[in-house]
Structure 1
Amino acid sequence: MIKIRFIALLTGLIMSGCVSGLDKPLPYDAWFLGFFAPNYMEVWIETADVVDIDERVYRQAMSGFASIRTPPENRGDSKGWPKRPGMGAGKDVIGAKVPRLVYVRWQSLAEPQTYDAYIEISQPIRDLMTEPTKTFCNADGKWITDYRKMLTIGLAPGGIAKAWVAGPCLAPFEVARVKGEIVTRGPYLGEMNGVYAAKLRPESQAYVDEFGIPFGSW
């Protein structure tokens, strides 16, 4: 019921033209939306939709496999999040201003289960994404002006979604952690008759068989 009211409110905002930030262009061409999953906990993203500060909706801003590592012979560890998450697998959100909201619906293939979640990007985080920051870039050994124009979201079993903003030479800054809801209709809102997009790779399946899923560690 909460979700229905939220969608109705969002629709009303879009139709009413209640917008903010119309005259604030980005200091860069586009920002990046990326996704990753803990080691072995493979994820298929059905859709990631973005609402920017002008209330414009960018559907299917990202879909497909999230970035993941699957070291052979169970040499990896799936518990917790990395201290410095990378960009993840994703795309530039071209034409959008900074995000106000990200909706993601994904298949947690290790369980398997389908979840969705709403990740709100607060005003302080939006300000951080457009704030120029002087930093030393190890990649080229120079001091540069960088921006946190990468929004990276980690997706884990149990419906956990955690987000960071970072720049090419700026350390990640945590944005939010939310617990999504189970999509009771299943994969692709029931259109696939319960069939998931893929099966776990052999390395991931071997890890899950040996150690299970570390719920509560994310």
Structure 2
Amino acid sequence: MSNFIRIALVVFLLSGCTVASSQSMPYKSWDLGFSAPDYMEVWIETADVVDIQEQVYPRAVSGVASMQAPPNNAGDPRGWPKKIAIGGGKRVTGADLPKQIYVRWQSLAEPQTYLMVIKIPETTRELMRKGEKAFCAADGKWITGYRQSIGIRLIPGGIARVWVGGPCMTSIEVTTVKAVIDPRGPYEGKSGGHYRPLSAVSKAYVEKFGVPYGSW
């Protein structure tokens, strides 16, 4: 079965939405965030969540991924950051811990439309449930912290790297996923192939230096 057919089956599963009645985690909700390298703008059409109780949360996140765009081409999009931020996103309220996350996004620097399914294994959920003593430098206090956030960094070429982290906690990389190109194009083919435009700062960088494929 091809990757596209598998993803199509997931899309079918994500056609409804119900609310979970109980939760297996030691906190009320978890966060889902997205980021992108400098100037490599990303528009998330949808990020849909299926939790471990098989409940579906369509469009748990949509919109722009967090990104830096320093003026005068002073930024550097190449490579993976040594310290990862969870990125901009939302709290997935009412959901239990995730089983899989379906993402369809526009990589605007290329431009290209990608889709993927990120399968979250039990080992990752165990990391999210585990409380650890952590020192918060901001207020000088020790806390019992949880990695209650999932951060996904989206890269040109359809690469996504996933971390879990939390306040005062060191983020842990859990997986890297290669997406497939959505042959329908942006907005499921409903925009006539037209993408959202790059900002002026990002456009200037890409026109001068291109997209640094091979650095990720």
With the length of structure 1 as denominator, give the TM-score of the two structures: 0.90
2:57 corresponds to: 58
Q: Report the CA distance between 1:159 and its aligned residue.
A: 0.5
Q: Which amino acid aligns with 1:208?
A: V
Q: Percent identity?
A: 54
2:204 corresponds to: 206
The 4+ residue runs of structure 1 with deviation greater than 6 A are 9-12
Q: Please, which runs of 5 or more residues in structure 1 have no aligned partner?
A: 16-21
Q: Report the CA distance between 1:117 and its aligned residue.
A: 1.0
Q: Report the CA distance between 1:121 and its aligned residue.
A: 1.1
Q: Is the 8 A contact 2:7 2:117 kept in 1?
A: no
* Compared CA separation, residues 60 and 83, structure 1 to 2 (3 A): same
Q: Report the CA distance between 1:89 and its aligned residue.
A: 1.1
* Compared CA separation, residues 46 and 137, structure 1 to 2 (3 A): same
Matched positions, count = 211
Q: Is the 8 A contact 1:161 1:180 kept in 2?
A: yes
2:152 corresponds to: 153
Q: Report the CA distance between 1:58 and its aligned residue.
A: 0.7
Q: What CA deviation, in whole Å up to 9, does each residue of 1:127-181 have, x standing for no partner? A: 0001111111112111100000010000011001111000111011001111100
* Compared CA separation, residues 29 and 84, structure 1 to 2 (3 A): same
Q: Please, which runs of 5 or more residues in structure 2 have no aligned partner?
A: none
Alpha-carbon distance in structure 1 between the residues aligned to 2:207 and 2:77: 13
User: Equivalences for 1:1-218 in 2 at 5 Å?
Assistant: 1-2=1-2, 3-5=4-6, 8=9, 25-196=24-195, 198-218=196-216
Instruction: Classify the secondary structure of the residue corresponding to 2:171.
Output: strand
With the length of structure 2 as denominator, give the TM-score of the two structures: 0.91
Q: Report the CA distance between 1:24 and its aligned residue.
A: 5.1
Q: Which amino acid aligns with 2:206?
A: V
1:18 corresponds to: none
Q: Which amino acid aligns with 1:70?
A: A
Alpha-carbon distance in structure 1 between the residues aligned to 2:72 and 2:156: 21
* Compared CA separation, residues 213 and 30, structure 1 to 2 (3 A): same
